[in-house]
Amino acid sequence: MDFIQEYIEEATQVLKNLEESLLQFEQRSADPEEINTVYRHLHTLKGSAGMFGFHDVERLSHELESVYSDIRDGVRQQDDFILDLTLHAVDVLRELLDGKDSVKEVDKIIHDIRGLHEGRIHASGAISTHGVAGQEEGFVIILNPEKQIFKRGINFQAIIAEIQELGSCEFIVHNEIVPFEKQLANKEIESWFEIILVSKAGLAGVQDVVLFMKPSEYKVFPITGSDLFTSEPYQKFIQLSEKEVEHRLSIINGINPALLASTHRPAAKDIHEKPIETILSDGEETEDEDQDIRIIRKSKKNGHVSVATQKLDQLINIVSELVIFRSEIHHLMSDTKNREVAEALEKLERLTLRLRDSAFGIRLVPLNILNSKLQRLIRSVSKELGKEVEFITEGLDTELDRSMINALEAPLMHIIRNAIDHGIETPEERESRNKPRKGLLKFYSYNSGDHVFIQLQDDGNGIDFDKIRAKGIEKGLLSKNQTYTEKELISVMMSAGFSTADKVTTVSGRGVGMDVVKKDITAIRGDIEVSTEKGLGSIFTLRLPLTLTILDTLVVKVSDNKYLLPISEVQFCYEEEHAKLFSKKSRQINYEGQLMPFVSLREHFGIEESKEKETVIVINKNDTKIAVVVDSILGKLQTVYKPLNELLHTADCFSGASILGDGSMALILNALKLKS
């Protein structure tokens, strides 16, 4: 394994976290917790940089670290200048990791930082009121769950995991007559637990974790001093020997000695002598410990493994093929009478689906990873244009396929740029319209069915349809004498070579317009929708499939061929007499009182056969409806979507291809394109 490569990956991750914390900062400047986080990230960065020969990284992060240690200690106040400087430094650090030679920039930033330090000497009288990072508190949680707690639908494992997430903790398991893992597997809890937790979550945070447990099942003791374990309420639960008390104290001392030292002054004296003793006795102590007590040490963070995308893709590929194979077996064994085989098949089926879900789950990442990029974009664009923007996000924990998030980045940035440039007005303009000076930009995302929706809403001026009409006429995209609906105008706005900025600004007039956004979104099988209200703002809605490769389809037969229709687009199917369908000249059916065009696939593919009964499938894709007439429906199938290669791109009535359970190929129909 290449250590340098590993370091670069890790450092890049640290930089990303650092950036996120910095942006957090901007919104809630006085949060000492975040200051500490920034400081920690810088420290991590510095620590390992030198080892791998990144001396400039080391130099720069060292200087930054000193600034943030001042802020943390309340000697200096965080301000915009420092934030800008640090964000710039993050970019430079990135370049350095990429192997770029940015020594000049490094020197410049270091010079600026030193300037700050000198400024500090002059202004040393003013000591900031900023608080020191959030207080860590200690708790002992006694958990004594009912044996049948799982039967209440409570996942005891999740409770344990949540406690571990709260901070540094140590578990002491009592009455472990059956190994704890076994108890979890049997879903019967015999043991009870003493948990020493050091956390910043506070008592309320701890009580939140045990929300579903009965009052008789838990007890939380704040650690107030070393006498806790010998106090009467505690002894009600367990009578500890001197050695056991000592052991618990040493655990607390190991996590954060300040907890015992600072609170109870009289008690502090005893403890001061204790660490030495405990270090000495540590080895024998665990041996001496009662057999039923076991210590699990858990660090604060959940473990993460970073895996090369290539390996992941390989896994997904194998899983995808397994899914096909499952369909094939299912197909082959579909009329088996053997019950055991059928049961085994069912198990295989369930497992495959679970495997598929978790394999795809690995690829899913929360949209959160885009957050810092978007925030920085908004920051820089609004500064550049002299606009004030408040960015609100909701649902950033919505998960999407990694590749999809990558593909989304450019279009999202473009929409945001547009919204700030064209949508949100200058603060003066806004005031004259009785709007708050600060424009509002909202980013929502949520799951619905097998789709993820992302909405970007601004409270700006809305889309100016008059402008679009005029521009469209000028560009020769619209005719002067015709009236257009708003929907049509929006689709013109998203067509190639359309840009409405009065003058080309560096922000949104880059020669590419909404057409590129639309193309990008369509490329990942998504849709974009725009709604707008003049003077009030606009909403851009992106609708994206959860995964790119697995598709639920309806298999239809046309003559000897099979075709696939995405089930999400199928609204209704029914049978109809051939004669009745084709009696009228206009190729339209009446479905629920609505006339819609239909296309006979036999006709479309030039097959001259006739049938008495036809099967009509009503397709509804984003409210555009079309009916497709086929010979028959064969069934439902989950397929792996494979894109068509370049040679077939001209046949746009097919969106892809897939392998069927019996090993044969079928094309996936893009019904809306059949119309023309």
Interacting residue with another protein among 2, 99, 129, 153 (CB under 8 A): 153
Q: Does 395 bind another protein (CB under 8 A)?
A: yes
Cβ atoms < 10 Å from Cβ of 180: 17
Q: Give the binding range for another protein (CB under 8 A) out of 50-58, 170-178, 301-309, 440-448.
A: 440-448
Q: Give the binding range for another protein (CB under 8 A) out of 23-31, 149-157, 269-277, 523-531.
A: 149-157
* Residue type for position 506: T
The structure tokens 């370091």 sit at 7
* Residue type for position 332: L
| 438: DSSP letter | S
> What would the x/- binding string for another protein be over residues 157 to 186, using CB under 8 A?
-x--xx------------------------
Q: How far apart are CA 311 and CA 114, in angstroms?
A: 45
Q: Does 55 bind another protein (CB under 8 A)?
A: no
Q: Does 81 bind another protein (CB under 8 A)?
A: no
With the CA atoms of 34, 96, 307 and 642 taken in that order, what torsion angle do they form, in degrees rounded to the nearest 10?
110
Whose Cβ is closer to another protein: residue 150's or residue 443's?
Answer: 150
Q: At closest approach, how far in Å is the CB of 159 from another protein?
A: 8
Interacting residue with another protein among 16, 43, 174, 187 (CB under 8 A): 187
Element housing 194 (H / E)? strand 192-199
Q: At closest approach, how far in Å is the CB of 535 from another protein?
A: 27
Token pair for residue 674? 């059949």
Residue numbers 296-335 binding another protein by CB under 8 A: none
Q: Give the binding range for another protein (CB under 8 A) out of 121-129, 148-156, 248-256, 491-499.
A: 148-156
Whose Cβ is closer to another protein: residue 451's or residue 467's?
Answer: 451
Q: Give the binding range for another protein (CB under 8 A) out of 143-151, 231-239, 251-259, 651-659.
A: 143-151
Token pair for residue 308? 């090369």
Q: Give the binding range for another protein (CB under 8 A) out of 57-65, 168-176, 373-381, 441-449.
A: 441-449
Interacting residue with another protein among 180, 212, 237, 325 (CB under 8 A): 212
Q: Give the binding range for another protein (CB under 8 A) out of 126-134, 445-453, 586-594, 658-666.
A: 445-453
Q: How far apart are CA 82 and CA 88, in angstroms?
A: 10
Label the pairing between strands 561-566 and 665-669: parallel
Q: Does 216 bind another protein (CB under 8 A)?
A: no
Q: How far apart are CA 80 and CA 77, in angstroms?
A: 10
Whose Cβ is closer to another protein: residue 352's or residue 655's?
Answer: 352
Q: How far apart are CA 654 and CA 141, in angstroms?
A: 61
Q: Single out the residue of 24, 17, 37, 86 nearest to residue 391, CA to CA.
A: 24
Interacting residue with another protein among 446, 572, 574, 605 (CB under 8 A): 446
Task: Tell me if 639 sits within 8 A of 550, measured CB to CB.
Answer: yes
Q: Does 211 bind another protein (CB under 8 A)?
A: yes
The structure tokens 């000495």 sit at 280
Q: How far apart are CA 650 and CA 434, in angstroms?
A: 52
Cβ atoms < 10 Å from Cβ of 511: 8
- Chain residues binding another protein by CB under 8 A are 146, 148, 150-155, 158, 161-162, 187, 211-212, 357, 395, 398, 446-449, 546
